[in-house]
Each structure stands twice: as structure tokens, then as C-alpha cells.
Amino acid sequence: MEVYPLKFHPIFKQRLWGGNKLRTFLGKDVSGEDIGESWELSGVAGDVSVIANGPYAGKSLWELIETFPEGLLGTGVLERFGTEFPILIKFLHAREDLSIQLHPGDDLARRRHNSFGKTEMWYILDAEPGSELIIGFNRDVSREEYLQALEGGKLLDLLHYEPVREGDAFFINNGKIHAIGGGIVLAEIQQSSDVTYRIYDFDRRDANGNLRELHTELALEAMDFQQKDDFRRSYGRKRNQPNPMVDSAYFKTAYLEVDKNLERDLRGRKAFTIFLCVGGQAVIAVDGQAVQVRMGETVLVPAAAGSVQINSGGCRLLEVSP
């Protein structure tokens, strides 16, 4: 395998709640006023990323995994996940509130959908004054209380609202009720899954005047009814070294602020590494082959890389590995 930093063509998704900041704030080459998501790196069937640079340009992520499974994924990933790419990377802009939703865990998702479950994290890139997330309940509730509130139009009274600002980080366990509020741009790191149970959508209608489907019954078995203050993640801001943010069974994420020439040793990882640029710009190089990244771009460094060099006068990265 020829080892170099891989960039991919974004996959843009129109959403009822989407806006224009993927273009105006992140500089994405996309038209339209309702583009809610940019899938940066995906192995999800039907939305598989295509390489944009270097000798493998035009090949899909699946093709590269099939040809170089160990070189791209690493032995540790192959042992845990086989040849399935286990992480999905997105940028989102919510002009309006997303629907209130949750995601199943691995066992339930595998049984119902032949899919990974969905545990995720968010890093806030931009937030308008007063922007909030919905994360979990504001107290422990019973199944019966929840259903009564949902049917009586009182669900919002049971939910926890969390104010946000740029740089905040959140970890969302599967089963936790949540929604991204309007006015927020964020990076999302998650298990490779597109399974969502929508439970409330503010009675909005789509472009055809139809209410969107709700998944009330499916959500019940997956839902965590306990109030848990376990979602906000604090992290260090020491420069030129990784500052741990999330260490989960599905992915590990560190905050990495670079203002010099930095080399990261990857030899003990046995897995690929993803860099999301969430501020500034940098040159990322492997074995002398370099790519430039700016805020809103993502790079995959194959597992076969022994190290990576990052050169920047000032950038902020999220470093992600399975």
C-alpha cells in the first residue's frame, strides 16, 4: 500500500433543519440553504466516501479496505470489527432545532437493523448566543411518565437544556435522548451507523406538507430513562500534545493544538488515525507526502503509517482513532 494522508469528497445532506453555514462558515463547496450535514468520512452503505487526492483518487473507502485491509485499518481494527469501517465523521449546521431522538446500542441495532449501534460525540465549532442542546432528562422518569408526557404534549418539560459555546465537547451514550439546537455548527464523531429513533419533531412538516415519521415504539426498548450528568467533557488545552477528550469502547478522541512542526508517533496504535481540523490550517505529512487541511476538512492516516508530521503556525485538530 502507498501510505499517505487521504482526503475524501464530502457527501452533503439536505435536511429540514439545515442551513448555509457549511458553506459560509466552513467554506464547503455546496449550494443550497438547507444543507444540514457534510459526511466527511463514511463507510455506511449507500454513502461510502471516495478518495479525493493522490494515487488512490477516485477509489472508494470500501475498495481500499478490500485491497489493503491491514494497511488501511490496522490489525487492532480487523480483530474488533473485521473489514467494516467503524467510525463516521460529520460536520453539521442546525439552522433550526433537530428532532428529539435517540439511538440504539450495538445489541439492539444488530438484532433489528444488522447495524452498529450509535454512540457519538460533538465538538462545538460555532454557536449563536442562546444556543442550547437537549441532552437527557432533567430528572429520573418512568416509562409511564415519559409516555404520558409524550402523548399529552408535555415532553419538553422533562428534558434537560444545556447552553453551549465554541470549544465545548459532549459525549452522547446510546439510549440518551438528545437534540441539537438551532444556531449550532459542530463536528460529530460516531459509530458507523445511520440508525435514529425520532420521538418528537415539533409537529413540523416536510416540503410536501407531511409530518415526518416517529419511532415511538422502537425507541422505548432503547431509551435510558435515568437523569445522568455524564455528557459534558472537560479537556486540557496544552499545545503540541494530545489532550484526551473521550476514551470509549468505540473511539478515542483528543484535542491537539499545534503551533510548530510536530511529529506524532503512531506505531503502537494498530489502527488508522483521523484528524479533523476545527480551527486554523496545517500541513499533514506521512513519509514526505503532504496535504494541506483547513478548518472543516478531514484527513485519514492509514494504520501502516509509523508516524505523522504536522506543521502549523496555529491550528486546532481533533485526533480520532478506534
Band the pLDDT of 142: cuts 50, 70, 90.
Answer: very high
Residue 31 has pLDDT above 90, yes or no: no
First to last CA, the chain: 21
Band the pLDDT of 33: cuts 50, 70, 90.
Answer: confident
Determine whether 198 is an active site residue.
Answer: yes
Residue 210 has pLDDT above 90, yes or no: no
Residue 11: beta bridge partners?
Answer: 39
Full-model pTM: 0.96
Q: Is 148 left (phi over 0), alpha (psi -120 to 50) or beta?
A: alpha
Cell 494497511, residue? Answer: 71
Catalytically annotated residue among 23, 95, 198, 269: 198
Q: Which pLDDT belongs to residue 171? A: 98
CATH 2.60.120.10 maps onto the chain at 11-222, 243-321
Neighbours of 306 (CB within 10 A): 12
Q: Which pLDDT belongs to residue 138? A: 98
Rounded CA gap, 119 and 224, in Å? 13
Residue 319 has pLDDT above 90, yes or no: yes
Residue 207 has pLDDT above 80, yes or no: no
Task: Tell the CATH topology of 243-321.
Answer: Jelly Rolls (2.60.120)
Q: Which pLDDT belongs to residue 208? A: 83
- Give the mean model confidence (pLDDT) for residues 129-136: 98
Contacts of 118 (CB under 8 A, 6+ apart): 103, 104, 109, 174, 190, 191, 193, 195, 196
Percent pLDDT > 70 in the chain is: 100
Q: Determine phi and psi for 218, rounding to 5 degrees.
A: -60, -35
How do residues 237-288 score in pLDDT, each as one tens digit?
999 999 999 999 999 999 999 999 999 999 999 999 999 999 999 999 999 9
Q: Which pLDDT belongs to residue 111? A: 95
How do residues 80-91 score in pLDDT, each as one tens digit?
999 999 999 999
Pick the CATH number of 11-222 from 2.60.120.10, 1.20.1740.10, 2.40.50.100, 1.20.120.1200: 2.60.120.10
- Give the mean model confidence (pLDDT) for residues 214-243: 96
Q: Which pLDDT belongs to residue 159? A: 98
Q: What's the gap between Cα 168 and its chain centre?
A: 14
Residue 148 belongs to what H/E stretch?
helix 143-151
Q: Which pLDDT belongs to residue 168? A: 98
Q: Which pLDDT belongs to residue 65? A: 98
